[in-house]
Structure 1
Amino acid sequence: MNRICLAAALSTILASGAVHAQFGDLLKNAITNAATNAATSAAAHATTNAVNGAIREATSPSAPAPAPASPAAPSPARPATGTAPEAAWEQVPASAARPGCESTRKRKPLPPLGPRPANFPAALWPTEPACAYGFEDYDFTGGKEQARAFEQAGRVACSECAGGFSHDANAQGKLAVSGGLTKRFLEMLVTMQPGEQIAWQGARYRGAITLTGELPIGEFPCRQFRWTLTNKADVVMAERDGLYCIWKYRSDDPVWHKVL
């Protein structure tokens, strides 16, 4: 509006010839400056509207929410010790932890066991193959050799025994005297309390089994035992470690199995 009024005034003054030439120049400059200021103001106003519009669009409820950032992959943590592996511990997917191992809907590799816990008996810790798919894939050769030596130590001459020998290390045969020996003996071991002991008397040696721990092997709950044979003077003549664990093998549900 100011620009239009000034232009009209200039036209009138110049037409009348009553204005000094220097005053005319000043008036021209004023008109030019007014026009420039008006254009600058309009541009600034347009920019402000554009910025405000962008802010309103971003904060409007109808605006799409920004995509959430992808969470970082969790780091594996060692399972806590106890009667069963900790359910909440984070694991690296088995297929990723064991590259090169076959993985199908029914057959998936187990995660690596990692190092043996310091308080886990060395004879009971398995050697694992490159690809393990079930508990039965673990190798307990060391513990089996120890168990065979213990059984041999408990084989003593007995004139009143069948075959001329008493198997004093055979706890199952000495303790489960009534039907269903294997099942009955298993129930005795898996219901023991930590530190509890069961004992039997052989022809020469007294045998005992003590529950020493309840540490898992990987994702499998296990119980550790100490077997001993002592003579009449309570001197330990032979000893070994024992192991029972829960896993699924030819059954619908995981159950306790004798390992060693």
Structure 2
Amino acid sequence: MRRKLAAGNWKMNGTSAALAELETLAKAAPPAETDVLICPPATLISRASHVAENSHIQIGGQDCHAANSGAHTGDVAADMLHDAGASHVILGHSERREDHGETNEVVRTKAATAWEAGLITVICVGETLSEREAENTLDIIGGQLAGSIPDAATGENLVVAYEPVWAIGTGKVPTLSQIGDVHDFVRMRLERRFGEGIGRTVPILYGGSVKPSNAVEIFSVSNVDGALVGGASLKAADFQGIIDALAAS
């Protein structure tokens, strides 16, 4: 059985004061059959893990380097994230792919390294507006799935997040039918590659401008097991609304 997951990506936002929002979330009652993940900037991971200690909140990183260690100034290794208290790491987010030129191969290597460090990977896939308009969405996502996920994937070490790039931070949301088509396609590809036993247990998150106001209808869509949330995860009240909607779905 797949666990539901509400994951918050704080991106490059948050200083010590932001931990008060995390503390509020940690004090809330654990949602039924739903995991909650917050991925703050690397500077806050250690302190966030202490705030969330003994609560239902898990802490993750937003990226890691493909190498375990070495001369990589400014980068963070998967072992370092784990040591700081992280249980997960987001990889292949569209902003990393676009801003840093990360390829599927880079994401795949990072994922393998993250698994060696004991981290669960949230691997992101998604199409740009031009790719959507050219009706290449499923071809793009199929290629990203094949190229970004290592062969050793299981339902315990992998989460896939579908993030239509054109909907992130724009307020635009695909139709429920469009979301369902992609999530069903991702599930089919996972089952085909890894077998039904593994393919059916990997959670698939939706990550495109999820808010308390649209969460209920998004979570009603086939194969949507949760959300990867950006801006709405920065405030405890907003993110709690999404968590509650997911737990009730």
Question: What is the TM-score when the length of structure 2 is the normalising length?
Answer: 0.25
Q: Which entry has the higher C-alpha Rg, 1 or 2?
A: 1
Judging by fraction of residues, say which structure has more helix.
2
Question: What is the TM-score when the length of structure 1 is the normalising length?
Answer: 0.24
